Every structure is written in C-alpha cells, then in structure tokens.
Structure 1
Amino acid sequence: MNKLKYAVIPLVLLVGVAVYLASQMSFGPTDRVLPGVYLLDTDLSGLTEEQALASIQKLEQKFRQPIMVKYQEFSWALPMSRVDLRIDCSKQVQRAMKIGRTGSLWQRFTERRQAFEGLHLKPVIFLDILLLEKVVDEAAEVIMVTPKDAGLIIHADNSVEISPSHSGKLVSIGQLEQDIKQTLLSNAKEPIELRLIEVPPNRTTEAVQEMGVDTLLGVYTTYFEPDKINRAYNISVAAAAIDGLTASPQEVISFNEVVGPRSTEAGYKDAPIIVNNELVDGLGGGVCQVSTTLYNAVLLSNLEVVERTNHSMPISYVPIGRDATVVFEAIDFKFKNNTDYWIYIQSYSRGGQLTVKIFGNKSYKRDVVLRSWVEETYQPENVVEKDYSIKMGDRVVKQKGAQGYKASGERIVMQNGKVIRVEKLPGSVYKAKNQVISQGMSPPGSILENPDMSVNKVPEESLE
C-alpha cells in the first residue's frame, strides 16, 4: 500500500503541472511570442516574428535619441545616433520566440509561469566606444584637460630646452558607456553625471630628462635646385620622415625602415635617379640626397656607421666618397647610436637647402673633421656601335664618357684640440662610364634597313 502511495504522488504532481499549464498559461501558437513576454516595456505578446522585429526596431530607434549628461553646472545632449548604438534585433526576436518552447520540461514550465506573470527581457546594447570618445571630446571639451607629453624644444641657436609634461583630466569613457546602457535599460530620466579621471602623460618630464639630450652633436647641409619641383618635393617628404626621429642608446637605425617605400601612396613623385651610371626618371628621385646628408651628419656626430653604399657615379652635392645611396628593400643606410644617451634628429628643407642636425648628450660632443680624396682614376673606354641610320663614314657620340674613381676618406676626432682618433671611412668605387660612338653604316644616297634594329631615318636632303 505504501509503495503504491509513493508511486501515485509523482503522477499526481505531473498531472497537476499539466493541468496548471493548460488552465492558467496559454501555450499559444508556435509562430507567435507567448503572451506576457516583453523586451523591457515593449509588449511582444502574441506577435509574429516580423511584428516582433518591427517593435524591437522601434525600441532601438528610441534608444538612439540624445541622452543628457552633465558635469557640475554644465550639461550636454550626447547624440546616440553618432556612436553606432544598436540592439541585435533579430537575435532578440529569436530569444523571445524560444521562451517556454525549448529546454527541459521544468525549464519550459518555469518560463511559461514567468511569462504568465509578465516576463521582461533585457536586451544587450552595443555601441562603438571609439565613436563615443570622439563625441564626448567634441561636446565636453570645456571641462577636460588634455594630458601633455614632455618634449624637446630646439632653439635657433641650437640650444635644447625640455618642454614639461602635465597630467590631464578626461571623461571616463568606460564608466560613461556603462551608465548609458544602464540609463536605457532602466528608462531613467535624470542626466548622467560624467566622471573625470586623471590621465598621466605618455612621456613625463623626468623621462625626457633621463634621455640626456642637451646639445648639438653634428650638423650637415646640402643644396639642391628648388625649381626642380618634383625632386625638391621628394626631398621634403623624406626629410620630414626622419625629422623628430629618436634613437635609444646602442640602437641601430635603418633609413629604409624609417622612410619607408618610395611610392605614390607615400607622396613621392618622379624625378631623376641614378641607374647604371645614368640619370633616368624614377619614383622618389632625391631621396638619396636625404640619406647622404644624414650620413654626413652621422659622421660629424661621431656616431657609428653600420651600413653604407656609394652611388655608381660621383654626385655634386657632397665631396667625393661621402655619399650614401639607398634603394628600398635593396640598399640601405644604417647607423648606430653608440652613446649611452638618446639622440634626437632634426631634419628640414627650405629654399634649396637640406639640413640634418643630430642632438645628444654633451659628454659625447667631439670636434670632427672629414677628409676624402681620389686614390685612383679609371678612364672610360670608347665603344663603337654600328648604326644603319647614319651614313657611312660619319661618327656620332651617342653617350659621353665619364671618368671613374676610387675614393677614400677618414674621420678625425678631436677633443680639447687634440686628435684622439683617426678612423678610415668606408671606401667608394665609382665605375667609369664608357663613351658610346655610333658608326655610320648606310651607303651614300640610301638608308639600309635592318629589321633587327631601330632605325632613325634621316631626310634625303641632308645626305651628301
């Protein structure tokens, strides 16, 4: 009898639950939200998926209305439409449709009971934190203080001064994001009180002082023709890339890594470059003048040269043997800050002058003299080419020759008027440029055409 009693009790409870579900809570059509389901205060009871989506989208639009914020006596309206505020509407519809229809029997029973009593779901609200920060920066500029990094001020006389840092006071964007979401979810009417937090500078005055930059180590200037607009422009772009460059103690600097590819996207234009001992138009012509000027400034600053390559022919803006060519991803100029303090580079071009200055610690200041000279001279050869566009017997110089050179140099380092070191500079070899002579091969009175050659025809009246 007792066993039967214990077996009947669960059955009675199950029947009771079923009766309760049937009598007090509507199961509702399967294609509609159960009665009593809300998204916050938006009633979704009995709505189809399309109807529920439309209702939730209206709620999303309501959330995008401006929200009032304040700080002490100041107040503003922050436009939520500008911060990409949104609800995952489709996901919320599916969430509402599943209430009381998925999971275990007990879960369904629990959810249906909650719906019968009124189940208010809370949506997940998304917004773009970066856009919010931008909107706040614009609206609340009057109450914020932007942190200032310490820096170096270089005066006209090359003296160095430290520009001090200071902390800032900015709106706590993370806290504001939470407050906005809570305000929307709770339908609060009071303005949100902004909270300001102290923000330290990224670079403090003490950090800049520890860099130890307090004097000019070396400076070098080269000259160019400003009326060659494209080349002058390229020089200014490359000079700007290294302006403000800093290097920590023992750091190796790569010119190509700093300046980057010479491309139209980077702002470079076509101008003459040296290719195989000839000047041809190429993207970024003029950049080598910046690397060369930097090379000489590095030498005069008594810094270590790690990698340097000369041009294929001497250039006019520096003494022979003191140039440094660069080709992105092929030929680089590298140097090392071989001091125990930071260095700072200032680079600018104006009025046909390109100047590079290197600043560092005065304990490494030395007087430097650079010397370079020609050790060997290579004479060009005469190369004769047959030309069927020129009458027989005539000879025309197609390409003028140029001498080649082997150049050497040295860096003389002095302190207190005494020579403390003489260092050999990287050697330079400039190949001779052959003179090319076109030998006329056309018989008098006619021009022979060779299908394998490009022939520049000469007017008949010019023939003898």
Structure 2
Amino acid sequence: MTKHRFKKHTFFILPLVTLVILVSYLILNMSFGPANKILPGVYLMDLNLSNMDRHQALRAVQQLQNRLSQPVTLKYQDMQWTLPLKRIGLKLDARAEVQRAMDIGRYGSPWRKFVERRQAHRGIHLKPQIYIDTNLLEQVVAEATEAIILPPRDAGLVINADDSVEVSPGHAGRLVDVDKLRQDLIHNLLQGNREPIELKLIEVAPGHSTEEVKAMGVDTLLGSYSTHFDPNMVNRTYNISVAAAALDGLTISPHEVVSFNDVVGPRSTEAGYKSAPVIINNELVDDFGGGVCQVSTTLYNAVLLSNLEIVERTNHSIPIQYVPIGRDATVVFDAVDFKFRNNTDYWLYIQSYVSDNTLYIKIFGNSRYKREVVVRSWIEETYNPETVIEKDYSIKAGDRVVKQKGMPGYRVAAERVVMQDGRVIKTEKLPSSIYKARNEIISEGMAEPGAILSNQDLNE
C-alpha cells in the first residue's frame, strides 16, 4: 500500500472510529431503564419523573395539578382580585402526560430512540397541556370584576299595557378579554410565574343593536284573539300555559312560514306536559298535551284577524265550544300542523300569555299592513246522526240504555273580509270544516227476568 493510499484510507477510517467511540460512550452513559418505568432525566415542568412507574407518576402529576391550582392574583389599574383556579376547572390529563413521558426513547425508529435517550440523558422538561374551562373562567371573573365591567344590553321591543310598541335601546358593553386571560394564565403557569396578571378590557357589541330592532319595523298591533278555559281542569290549564309560553316572544322574519308544531315541540312529559282530555275519534280521552289545541286555535284566529296568510289548517272532528264553529285549528305533533306565513315585508312579534282564566295571543307588525278584518262562519249542511241498536244480554228485556249520545255533524264555510278606511278591499274564502256526525248508540235489553248474565259469564 502506497503512502498516498494509506493517507486516503486514514481520512475515512478515523472519523468512523471516532463516531463509534462517541456512540459507545453515549450508550454506556445513558440509562435505558426498565420498560415499565420512565427514563431517567424526564421531567414534567420541574417535576422529576425519573425511574417512576405508571402509578407513581400518576400520583406525582396529580400533586403537580394541585400545586398549579393555587390561587393567582388579577389586577386592573390599582385594583386586585384573587382568582381561585380550582373554580375554573383547571386540570391536567394525568394519564396522557404520564404516557407521553413513558413513551420517550421507546417508540419509533432506532435513530429516534437514540436521539430521545440522548436528550433524556441531558434532561427533558416536558410542558403539560393545561385545561381551563373557559365558561367557568368567564363566570368567575365576571363575578369578581363586577365593578369594572359593563355587560352589553340587547335592544328589544317593549309592549306597553295599551298595546303600543316601543324600542328599548341597546348599548355596547365592556368586558374582560377572557381569551387573553386564559392564554396569560397558562403561559404563567408553565413558566412558574406567579406575578399578578394584568386584565385587558374589550368592547363588546350587543347581540341586537337599536338600529337592527328598529329596522324590523314592528310598530303596531295587527290583530289579537282570546279564549277562555275552565281553571278547575288543572292539567289542561297547565298545558295551555306551557304551549302559550313557547309562542311568547316569537319573532318571525318577512315571508317566513311558521309551523306551530316546530315552535311548540312534542307534547310529552319531557317537554313538561301533563295528561288531559283531547278529542280522538269524536270522543274525549285523556292524553299528554290536552289543551294545546286551544292554543293553536287561538293563534289561528289571531292570524286571521292580522290578515296573514293561512298555509295549513285542519278542524277538529267535532265542534268545540271556545270559538265559533268553523274557526278551530287542531294539531297533532308529527301528524297534523297549523302553519301560516308572514306575508308582509317586515318582522312580526307574538305575545302569548294566560291571565284570569283567559288565553291571549297578540300579533304585532308594521302599521303599513294594519287592516280591519272581520271573520264569519256559517253552517251550510247538517248531518243527522243515526241511531244504532245493540243487543245487550246484561240488561233486562224491554229496557233501553243510551250508550253513546248522538251528535249532528256539519259542513261549515268561513270567510275573511278585509277592509281599509271602512271600504272592503278583499273577501277571502277560508278553509271549510267538516264535522262528522256521531251516531247514537242504544243498548237494548235482551235478558229475561232472573236470567241476567254478566259480561264475564258471557265470555266464559
């Protein structure tokens, strides 16, 4: 081998030997540790997790969380408040942090494992993920800093006792910047900084400005209707109040179609309804939500008198007593609905409430659409009930008992007359109503004297 070639090989061999020696040195001086323990040199912030097993590390991380949860001080100008971090849901995901620590130097390619073990030998300080409940933080800070904040106020509509309409002005608010405070809290905790945190205030616009509410154009009562009910029917009265409350305060955009069922929702115990009489197959039976149809019927008449468009309406199977015949609107959730359209170019606002055994529904809108409205209904045809005789061996021969009282049926027409300045501008035919007759059922006695059989005897 020539001198030149020897120098050439030396040029490549020496760095390789040096690298092998260096790697050997590092390997000999790095602890690989047991597989079920965290490598030496791994920290979570300043918490030394070296050689801890999973259970030891979990306890240690919980102690770290308790230490981080100590109160901090907030300040604004010359004022200060104490913020109890335990009240804002501060926590660490202890299991995730321990798993992250245990994974160091144990997963990935050989090179990655080597690099991570080398880093652990020098010391790895992990930064935990700190969780803070923003809603709780906002609530606690708002309570503490009440003296320096000003909540925004939405503009709204005010309905006076005389049904006149006013706009309640809104204004912007001044609140603590909770997002920045949350970031500052986490940053200081990770840095071990316990200095007071300076609060930043931000201006917050109202959800609805005065200009927006004025632009809705609601300035007058378009129409209203009321119906009475028996307060002694406690469950039914309760259901009426629940359904009326669902309608109260409803705002309807121009040309929007309103579904009664969508607004009021299912009639169930979960929704707060009780069992009360409802009309099913021409008979009154107890079911959840009995009385809700009085609310839909009252709304139907208020809609008619407000000169709004009827989209969908169905009458009951028998006439009801609290409105003139042909002016009722039955509803069954997911089956029969009452719908109407806001056929104006402005918003509508519904006021719905119960007072002195009376349900009131009022519809407010823009005065450009205020009209005088008269609703009329009349019977066009009457359907007489039939008499059905049923033999009954539990009744003495010659006796008769009315099992079901008959009720006539009707075909009813209705119309809406719209006037302006005392002059009729439109006469509109309304949906007709068909009420089926209910047959009279008479039980005729068939049993001879001394031979009356019970129903149980007949079944046997």
Alignment of 1:174-253 (within 5 A): 174-253=179-258
Other-structure match for 2:296: 291
Q: Any idea what SS the aligned residue of 1:141 has? A: coil
Amino acid at match of 1:380: P
Distance 2:219 2:142 in 1: 36
Q: Is the 8 A contact 2:412 2:434 kept in 1?
A: yes
Structure 2 unmatched runs, 5+: 1-5
Q: Is 1:78 matched up with 2:83?
A: yes
Aligned length: 455
Distance 2:123 2:42 in 1: 6
Compute the displacement of 1:94 (Å).
3.2
Amino acid at match of 2:326: G
- What CA deviation, in whole Å up to 9, does each residue of 1:171-191 have, x standing for no partner? 222111111111111111211
- What CA deviation, in whole Å up to 9, does each residue of 1:251-270 have, x standing for no partner? 10000110011111111111
User: TM-score normalized by structure 1?
Assistant: 0.93
The counterpart of 1:304, out of the listed 296, 305, 309, is: 309
User: TM-score normalized by structure 2?
Assistant: 0.93
Measured at CA, do residues 453 and 303 of structure 1 come closer, stay the same or move farther in structure 2, by a change above 3 Å?
A: farther
Distance 2:241 2:458 in 1: 43
Measured at CA, do residues 164 and 453 of structure 1 come closer, stay the same or move farther in structure 2, by a change above 3 Å?
A: farther
Q: Any idea what SS the aligned residue of 1:143 has? A: coil
Q: Is 1:359 matched up with 2:364?
A: yes
Deviates more, 1:37-46 or 1:150-159: 37-46
Distance 1:114 1:397 in 2: 97
Distance 1:72 1:119 in 2: 39
Q: Is 1:7 matched up with 2:12?
A: yes
Q: Is 1:350 matched up with 2:355?
A: yes
Distance 2:42 2:281 in 1: 80
Compute the displacement of 1:397 (Å).
0.9
Q: Any idea what SS the aligned residue of 1:142 has? A: coil
Alignment of 1:373-384 (within 5 A): 373-384=378-389
Amino acid at match of 1:189: R
Compute the displacement of 1:334 (Å).
0.4
- What CA deviation, in whole Å up to 9, does each residue of 1:107-132 have, x standing for no partner? 45544454444332211212222222
Alignment of 1:19-418 (within 5 A): 19-22=24-27, 24-103=29-108, 107-108=112-113, 110-418=115-423
Compute the displacement of 1:84 (Å).
2.7
Measured at CA, do residues 238 and 5 of structure 1 come closer, stay the same or move farther in structure 2, by a change above 3 Å?
A: same
Amino acid at match of 1:159: S
Identity among equivalent positions (%) equals 63
Distance 2:438 2:117 in 1: 93
Alignment of 1:418-429 (within 5 A): 418-429=423-434
Structure 1 unmatched runs, 5+: 456-464
Compute the displacement of 1:360 (Å).
0.5
Amino acid at match of 1:240: A
Compute the displacement of 1:441 (Å).
0.8
Distance 1:282 1:33 in 2: 64
Measured at CA, do residues 23 and 406 of structure 1 come closer, stay the same or move farther in structure 2, by a change above 3 Å?
A: closer
Q: Is the 8 A contact 2:90 2:131 kept in 1?
A: yes
- What CA deviation, in whole Å up to 9, does each residue of 1:63-99 have, x standing for no partner? 1222222222332222222333222223333333344
Deviates more, 1:115-124 or 1:243-252: 115-124
Compute the displacement of 1:12 (Å).
1.6
Amino acid at match of 2:388: V
Q: Any idea what SS the aligned residue of 1:383 has? A: strand
Measured at CA, do residues 86 and 445 of structure 1 come closer, stay the same or move farther in structure 2, by a change above 3 Å?
A: same
Measured at CA, do residues 111 and 369 of structure 1 come closer, stay the same or move farther in structure 2, by a change above 3 Å?
A: same
Measured at CA, do residues 325 and 11 of structure 1 come closer, stay the same or move farther in structure 2, by a change above 3 Å?
A: same
Distance 1:276 1:130 in 2: 51
Other-structure match for 2:3: none
Measured at CA, do residues 275 and 104 of structure 1 come closer, stay the same or move farther in structure 2, by a change above 3 Å?
A: closer
